[in-house]
């Protein structure tokens, strides 16, 4: 039995690692096509960069295969589930006033379109891919740049640690709960400011369904539009001293801002599906790191590289010193 479980574990791990390396490869290729418009057209891309084209298509096939296997395994599991057992569990939860929660994949498998038809496998796969893969590098990027900024701004780091210590005390083994994170106001300000300066997705795209009339130009339908979040979030008309890391700016309302002035996760019906979970992850990691370590300004400064996901050409460097409670 143990050998069987170990085999399952390594098969899943192997599949995930293949997906991870495929995702990294495809992301780099797409980023190259992103800044070279002629390569955006599949026929030109295949003609001018045949090796990259094959590598991209191979990587996409690996990711699709992995996701489709997960979907099929979950579909079979749901079909084999005992209805009477599920009904009993649901009834027991309802009696205790507890709302039954469903995993994202379960929701998608049981969802229907506006005309009452179930989602196709391709539609489910695309949603799962979005949640699994887009939340991978983006959250890592956000956490890395946030820690970097704290390492370079010792006053901000000290203020945040004092807030964390006042709430959690000196017991570093105390578990973190959701209600804890909601009460850390300065932590939220730090995260907002880090995401403003270093948004994980610095550029987003939209496809115009209808004509868009702007003061200086009118864009026709079916136009692809690039929205530079990197520039929007550093707008001097909205933010005082926009290049400065200043978490306190988010503690009070900004009269010069509008609902779309601070949108590191995009906005509207196509905003980031996992933004609440991402914020929860960032909060948790920052609290845990600062409870155990002091961040030191070591290594080369960051050199932002604006691709699909924000990275640094020089890496994200800092030092760690074991924190001593006195």
In terms of C-beta density within 10 A (0-12 exposed, 13-18 middle, 19 or more buried), how is residue 272 classed?
Answer: buried
- Backbone angles phi and psi of 293, in degrees to 5: -135, 155
Inform me whether the pLDDT recorded for 243 exceeds 50.
yes
Question: Does 286 lie in the same domain as 168?
Answer: yes
Tokens for 139?
């959250």
Q: Is the torsion defined by CA of 249, 135, 280, 304 positive or negative?
A: negative
| Residue 271 lies in domain | 131-322
Helix (H, G, I), strand (E, B) or coil at 301: coil
pLDDT at residue 4 in the model: 35
Q: What is each CA distance from 30 to 20, 24, 41, 42, in whole angstroms?
A: 15, 10, 12, 11
- What is the number of other CB atoms lying within 10 angstroms of the CB of residue 66? 23
The 10s digit of each residue's pLDDT in 73-85 is 888 887 776 554 5
The 10s digit of each residue's pLDDT in 139-187 is 999 999 999 999 999 999 999 999 999 999 999 999 999 889 988 999 9
pLDDT at residue 272 in the model: 82
Q: Per the domain annotation, does 167 fall within a domain? A: yes
Question: Does 138 lie in the same domain as 287?
Answer: yes
Asked if residues 200 and 142 have their Cβ atoms less than 8 Å apart, the reply is yes
pTM, 2 dp? 0.80
Question: Which residues are documented as binding site?
Answer: 272
Question: Does 78 lie in the same domain as 153?
Answer: no
pLDDT at residue 41 in the model: 86
Q: CA torsion, points 257, 268, 128, 50, in degrees to nearest 10? A: -80
17-31, 95-109, 189-203: the lowest-pLDDT one: 95-109
Bigger pLDDT: 4 or 71? 71
Q: Per the domain annotation, does 106 fall within a domain? A: no
pLDDT at residue 242 in the model: 96
DSSP 161-225: HHHHHHHHTT-TTSPP-HHHHHT-HHHHHHHHHHHHHS-SS-EEEEE-SS-EE-SS-EEPTT-EE
Query: What does DSSP say about strands 224-228 and 218-219: parallel, antiparallel, or unpaired?
Result: unpaired
CA distance 161 to 181: 13
DSSP 59-111: HHHHHHHHHHHHHHHHHHHHHHS-HHHHHHHHHHHHHTT-PPP--HHHHHHT-
Q: Per the domain annotation, does 109 fall within a domain? A: no
| pLDDT tier at 71, thresholds 50, 70, 90 | confident
- What is the number of other CB atoms lying within 10 angstroms of the CB of residue 65? 14
Bigger pLDDT: 96 or 66? 66
CA distance 119 to 113: 6
Question: Does 92 lie in the same domain as 35?
Answer: yes
- Name 209's Cβ contacts closer than 8 Å, sequence gap at least 6: 221
Inform me whether the pLDDT recorded for 308 exceeds 90.
no
Asked if residues 119 and 261 have their Cβ atoms less than 8 Å apart, the reply is no
pLDDT at residue 7 in the model: 45
* C-alpha closest to that of 45 among 206, 54, 59, 308: 54
* CATH for 145: 1.10.630.10
Question: Does 246 lie in the same domain as 154?
Answer: yes
The 10s digit of each residue's pLDDT in 199-226 is 999 988 888 999 999 988 999 999 988 8
Degrees to nearest 5, angle at CA 13 with 10 and 18: 125
Question: Does 146 lie in the same domain as 294?
Answer: yes
* C-alpha closest to that of 248 among 151, 163, 318: 163
Question: Which residues are documented as binding site for heme?
Answer: 272
Question: Does 209 lie in the same domain as 264?
Answer: yes
Question: Does 230 lie in the same domain as 162?
Answer: yes
Question: Does 226 lie in the same domain as 84?
Answer: no
Tokens for 135?
């939340």
pLDDT at residue 271 in the model: 83
């Amino acid at each position: 039995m143990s050998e069987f479980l170990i085999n399952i574990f390594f098969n899943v791990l192997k599949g995930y690692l293949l997906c991870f390396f495929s995702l990294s490869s495809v992301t780099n290729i797409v980023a190259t096509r992103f800044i070279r418009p002629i390569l955006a057209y599949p026929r030109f891309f295949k003609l001018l960069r045949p090796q990259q084209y094959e590598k991209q298509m191979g990587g996409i096939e690996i990711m699709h295969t992995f996701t489709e296997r997960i979907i099929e395994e979950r579909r079979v599991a749901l079909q084999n589930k005992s209805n009477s057992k599920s009904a009993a569990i649901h009834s027991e939860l309802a009696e205790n006033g507890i709302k039954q929660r469903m995993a994202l994949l379960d929701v998608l498998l049981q969802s229907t379109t506006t005309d009452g038809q179930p989602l196709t496998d391709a539609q489910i796969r695309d949603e799962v891919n979005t949640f699994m893969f887009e939340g991978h590098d983006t959250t890592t990027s956000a956490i890395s740049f946030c820690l970097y900024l704290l390492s370079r701004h010792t006053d901000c780091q000290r203020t945040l640690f004092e807030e964390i210590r006042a709430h959690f005390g000196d017991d570093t083994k105390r578990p973190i709960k959701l209600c804890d994170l909601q009460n850390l106001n300065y932590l939220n300000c730090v995260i907002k400011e880090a995401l403003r300066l270093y948004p994980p997705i610095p550029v987003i795209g939209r496809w115009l369904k209808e004509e868009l009339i702007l003061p200086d130009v009118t864009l026709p339908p079916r136009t692809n539009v690039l929205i530079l979040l990197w520039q929007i979030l550093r707008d001097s008309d909205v933010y005082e001293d926009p290049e400065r890391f200043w978490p306190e700016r988010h503690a009070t309302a900004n009269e010069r801002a509008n609902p779309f002035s601070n949108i590191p996760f995009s906005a509207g019906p196509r905003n980031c599906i996992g933004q609440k979970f991402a914020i929860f992850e960032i909060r948790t990691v920052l609290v845990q790191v600062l409870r155990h370590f002091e961040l030191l300004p070591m290594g080369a400064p960051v050199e932002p590289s604006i691709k699909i996901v924000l990275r640094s050409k020089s890496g994200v460097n800092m030092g760690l010193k074991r924190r001593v409670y006195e």
